[in-house]
């Protein structure tokens, strides 16, 4: 699914409806969506410069085995992935959600 598909499909729905994320069809659950974040293929936000090894920001802590420079900065509108984060209320969902898409 692409952002453009989402924009078109959401445009036809109630703007006051709460957005929930249904996941795990073999044990269906839902959780309230809390944010939309432009990210990279590694599951991190764009321009996340925290080293995954030492936790250093914009660089490495002394002795960190990673010697790679932080990723080049990416404009959010050029990010290749968009993550919908969840948080807050949650509950059991119905498997029918996976069959019932109108699109």
Q: Which is nearer to Zn ion, 59 or 88 (CB)?
A: 59
Q: Which is nearer to Zn ion, 63 or 100 (CB)?
A: 63
Q: Does 20 bind Zn ion (CB under 5 A)?
A: no
Q: Could you tell me the sign of the dihedral formed by the alpha carbons of 40, 44, 94, 10, in that order?
A: negative
Q: Which is nearer to Zn ion, 9 or 71 (CB)?
A: 71
Binding residues vs Zn ion (CB under 5 A): 51, 53-54, 56, 60, 64, 66
């Amino acid at each position: 699914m692409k952002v453009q598909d989402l924009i078109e499909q959401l445009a036809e729905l109630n703007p006051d409806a709460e957005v929930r994320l249904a996941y795990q069809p073999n044990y269906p659950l839902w959780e309230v969506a809390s944010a939309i974040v432009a990210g990279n293929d590694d599951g991190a936000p764009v321009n996340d410069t925290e080293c995954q090894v030492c936790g250093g920001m914009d660089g490495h802590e002394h002795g960190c085995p990673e010697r790679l420079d932080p990723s080049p900065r990416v404009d959010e509108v050029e990010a290749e992935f968009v993550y919908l984060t969840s948080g807050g209320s949650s509950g059991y969902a119905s498997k029918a959600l996976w069959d019932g898409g109108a699109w």
